């Protein structure tokens, strides 16, 4: 077969076949009297084998070594190629994520693209001070121009990953100024396999304070992660959401941020009808023989956050409680 026929059957261009010949990768079996390359079927098979190896990412030199060195370890080479491919995919995925973040910001001018890109690079910086400054500058600029928070999804991703307390607070503040823009991204963070990411998502949603954020927090009241449940309950309770009551009571009983939970119960009790529900629930727990003594003590202390005559009557009853610390606490609260 002449080079044109080989090119047609293999899909490899004549120019590349000549290059293969110069490299010694696939040499033609012979030549015509006029000097034209002549290939045999075995040459064609070798060309096809080279192309198969190249399709896996091997260089021409690696393909030659693989075909000619019987001692070559294919598993090691394939593992190396797989590692390189994963690294390349990670780089491409990072680029794609950044492009999607810029696109989500709906840029109208190239200056918008540059602004968002600069922010994305800054929040990815290893320097926490640079991250904080970039977020503050972006939020200030957005406030002065009356525009929305730039790159809200990117900022949400940043706050979900931020381990530095002060920077995380700055990011949450910036997201809260943007209203609902990042709620969906943060709500998705509640489903992360990383408990720290779930906690950060709940904290950020709690600071946003919009109806949509509250909706995400209401769903989080049944979250399997107690830190997420508790953060959601505190935020909702402080906002007067009755749905938070069962979890807040669980927090007091369990002794998990029970002081904050009691304060949230006090906020709920601003509604007189809800106050009655809270008092009845606490009274039931105090009278339940299965409630641990330490929990009864915390429940009594929580009554100090609830105003009204009904609370005073319950405290008066508790002043003679057989549990000494409960009786002492009730007496103190009754005499305030």
Does an H or E element contain 38, and which? strand 37-38
Domain final residue pick, 26, 47, 69: 69
Q: Are 228 and 190 in contact (CB under 8 A)?
A: yes
Percent of the chain past pLDDT 70, that is, above it, reads 91
**Average pLDDT score over residue span 142-152:** 57
Number of compact structural domains in the chain: 3
Mean pLDDT of the chain: 86
> Could you tell me the pTM of the whole model?
0.65
Residue 285 CB partners (closer than 8 Å, separation 6+):
249, 253, 291, 295, 296, 299
CATH classification of the domain holding 65: 1.10.1660.10
Domain that holds residue 233: 221-336
pLDDT (0 to 100) of residue 150: 60
pLDDT, residue 236, reads 96
- Beta bridge pairs of residue 2: 38
pLDDT computed for residue 144 by the predictor: 47
Question: Rounded mean pLDDT of 74-90?
Answer: 81
Does position 131 have pLDDT exceeding 60, yes or no?
yes
Q: What is the C-alpha to C-alpha distance for residues 132 and 180, in angstroms, rounded to an integer?
A: 21
* Token reading at 289: 């023989």
> Average of pLDDT values for 224-234?
95
First to last CA, the chain: 106
Largest CA distance in the chain: 119
Same domain, 190 and 276: no
- Which single residue is written with the structure tokens 């409960």? 326
Instruction: Identify the CATH number of the domain in which residue 232 sits.
Output: 1.20.930
- pLDDT score recorded for residue 141: 63
Does the pLDDT value for residue 73 go beyond 80?
no
Q: Residue 65 corresponds to which tokens in the numbers above? A: 């070594």
Helix (H, G, I), strand (E, B) or coil at 2: strand
Res 146 pLDDT > 60:
no
Is the domain of 277 the same as that of 331? yes
Residues 207 and 235 in one domain: no
**Residues 258 and 175 reside in one and the same domain:** no
């Amino acid at each position: 077969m002449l080079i044109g026929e080989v090119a047609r059957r293999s899909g490899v261009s004549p120019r590349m076949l000549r290059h293969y010949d110069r490299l010694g990768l696939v040499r033609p079996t012979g030549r015509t009297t006029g000097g034209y390359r002549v290939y045999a079927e075995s040459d064609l098979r070798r060309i096809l084998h080279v192309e198969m190896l190249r399709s896996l990412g091997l260089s021409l030199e690696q393909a030659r070594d693989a075909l000619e060195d019987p001692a070559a370890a294919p598993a090691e080479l394939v593992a190396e190629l797989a590692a390189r491919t994963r690294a390349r995919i990670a780089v491409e995925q990072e680029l794609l994520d950044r492009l999607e973040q810029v696109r989500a910001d709906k840029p109208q001018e190239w200056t918008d693209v540059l602004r968002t890109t600069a922010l994305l690079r800054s929040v990815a910086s290893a320097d926490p001070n640079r991250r904080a400054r970039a977020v503050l500058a972006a939020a200030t600029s957005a406030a002065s121009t009356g525009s929305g928070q730039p790159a809200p999804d990117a900022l949400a991703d940043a706050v979900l990953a931020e381990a530095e307390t002060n920077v995380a607070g700055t990011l949450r503040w910036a997201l809260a100024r943007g209203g609902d823009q990042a709620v969906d991204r943060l709500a998705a963070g509640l489903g992360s396999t990383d408990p720290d990411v779930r906690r950060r998502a709940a904290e950020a949603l709690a600071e946003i304070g919009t109806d949509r954020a509250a909706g995400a927090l209401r769903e989080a009241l049944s979250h399997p992660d107690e830190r997420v449940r508790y953060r959601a309950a505190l935020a909702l309770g402080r906002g007067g959401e009755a749905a938070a009551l069962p979890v807040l009571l669980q927090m007091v009983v369990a002794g998990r941020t029970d002081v904050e939970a009691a304060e949230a119960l006090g906020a709920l009790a601003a509604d007189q009808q809800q106050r009655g529900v809270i008092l009845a629930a606490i009274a039931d727990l105090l009278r339940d023989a299965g409630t641990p003594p330490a929990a009864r003590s915390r429940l009594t202390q929580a009554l100090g956050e609830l105003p009204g005559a009904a609370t005073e009557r319950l405290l008066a009853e508790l002043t003679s409680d057989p549990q000494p610390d409960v009786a002492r606490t009730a007496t103190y609260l009754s005499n305030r």
